[in-house]
Amino acid sequence: MLNNSVESEKKMAEVETALNSDGPIIQAKDVSVFYGEKQALFDVNLDFEKNQVTSLIGPSGCGKSTFLRCINRMNDLVDIARVKGEIIIANQDIYAKDVDVVALRAHVGMVFQKPNPFPKSIYDNVAYGPRIHKTVSTKDEMDYVVERSLKRAGLWDEVSDRLDQPGNGLSGGQQQRLCIARAIAIEPQVVLMDEPCSALDPIATAVVEELIDELRERFTIIIVTHSMQQAARVSQKTAFFHLGNLVEHGDTDQIFTNPQDDRTENYITGRIG
């Protein structure tokens, strides 16, 4: 048992160094996803750079959310889902047998489409991650982590005087920023966002987009979005999915101004999708 923990600590250290080195932080190799008999994703190969925002765009049902959920293995929750291929984070295939999803998700956080704060206080929402991963030990440290996370999520000024109020009592945009604060409280390397603004009004969306840009300094962000304008605004890289295939990926400017594939062009000009 002791041996094990020493080994796992060693491994963690390895992961940390690998994560901090340069080069692509995530590499997807021939990733295919099946829901039962139906194949939803076909041999996707895609690299993600560190400290960049990558947008996954495409029409509904094109597999972009499915792909995003492969990166922190949320697809494990779907009984009939089956993933083929490799996703390599920090030189480690996350679909290998010895990978614990709990440890993986501590490094790859996620923000969902609908704001889903826990029905607990704002403080407890943010503190939950550090608490279960035991990354902080004292109350003061926890206070600090909560404050830092809320500040990074741009929510501190609005809620600092009511941390003990329930998180569901906030407005939609505030709730989503609370969810972001919750995700970054455990200092993941990667933050996955699944249409984080689709349930928000334009003003709240603008705040969250601004926040995403700021978060890029510390985290690698992958965002699924339906709004091409949003992709153009927040991301440096864009990948276009269509019918389960990765059609094209590259710098956002290039995708939007000079797409190589007809399907991409048709999509961004509004002819399909």
User: By the criterion CB under 8 A, which residues form the site for another protein?
Assistant: 72, 74, 77, 79, 101-106, 109-112, 114, 116-119, 128-129, 132-133, 179, 182-183, 185-186
- Closer CB to another protein, 182 or 249, in the complex: 182
- Closer CB to another protein, 153 or 247, in the complex: 153
What Å distances lie between residue 167 and 77, 126, 225, CA to CA? 25, 10, 25
Q: How far is the CB of 51 from another protein (least distance, A)?
A: 21
Residue 82 half-sphere exposure toward CB, CA atoms < 13 A? 8
Strands 53-57 vs 38-48: parallel, antiparallel or unpaired: unpaired
Whether 67 and 33 have beta carbons less than 8 Å apart is answered as yes
In the numeric block, the tokens 């996803």 are attached to: 33
Q: How far is the CB of 180 from another protein (least distance, A)?
A: 11
In the numeric block, the tokens 């990354």 are attached to: 135
Residue type for position 259: P
Strands 81-89 vs 38-48: parallel, antiparallel or unpaired: unpaired
Q: How far is the CB of 227 from another protein (least distance, A)?
A: 21
- Closer CB to another protein, 29 or 82, in the complex: 82
- Closer CB to another protein, 28 or 111, in the complex: 111
Q: How far is the CB of 103 from another protein (least distance, A)?
A: 7
- Closer CB to another protein, 159 or 255, in the complex: 159
**Tokens representing 255?**
């995708």
3-class state of residue 159 by DSSP: helix
Q: Which helix (H) or strand (E) holds 86?
A: strand 81-89
Q: What does residue 257 show for φ and ψ, rounded to 5 degrees? A: -100, -30
Q: How far is the CB of 124 from another protein (least distance, A)?
A: 10
Q: How far is the CB of 119 from another protein (least distance, A)?
A: 6
- Closer CB to another protein, 42 or 128, in the complex: 128
Residue type for position 236: Q
